[in-house]
Amino acid sequence: MESEIRDQIVGTWRLVSTEETLKDGRTRPFPAFGPHAAGFLMYQREGYMCAVLGNPDRLKWVDPAHGTPDEKLAAAEGTFAYAGRYEIDVKQESIVHLPEVATVPGYVGSRQIRPYRFEGGRLIFSDVEKNDPSVARWRIVWERVR
């Protein structure tokens, strides 16, 4: 039931890992976020969500208040966030994120479908990759913040 799934997801989740399985069988973390990716995913009972992921190893700004063009580009390429409403599709075992604001303009107004499962207290999103021909599957693992 939708209310049971909502009860399980409401709250704050910390990113554990991102992974792409390439067509040749190798695996790697999502390139934009690197092997030490950090992030949070938050769901409210009222139907709103927010997700932010970042690469903590991206180029640091020498002057924290005034980045150089290269530092700004690294910040943009190594950070991804969106927020908006969400829906739960119990039959398809998917959570659908409906971004109203996003760092990538094309996400605004889109339907971000996240097939989910719960495993050992973790929330796992995983699916077949549809946009990158070199990638077979993707997987994002979250654990509840305690």
Query: Token pair for residue 99?
Result: 């971004």
Say which residues have a Cβ less than 8 Å from residue 129's Cβ, sequence separation at least 6: 20, 135, 136, 137, 138
pLDDT at 52: 98
Q: Residue 131 — pLDDT band, cuts 50, 70, 90?
A: confident
Query: Token pair for residue 142?
Result: 């979250």
pLDDT at 146: 81
Assign 134 to helix, strand or coil.
coil
Rounded Cα–Cα distance for residues 64 and 91 (Å): 47
User: Taking residues 99-123, what's their average pLDDT?
Assistant: 96
Please report the domains of the chain, with CATH numbers, ordered by start residue: 2-144 (2.40.128.280)
Each residue of 30-84: pLDDT tens digit? 999 999 999 999 999 999 999 999 999 988 899 989 999 999 998 999 999 999 9
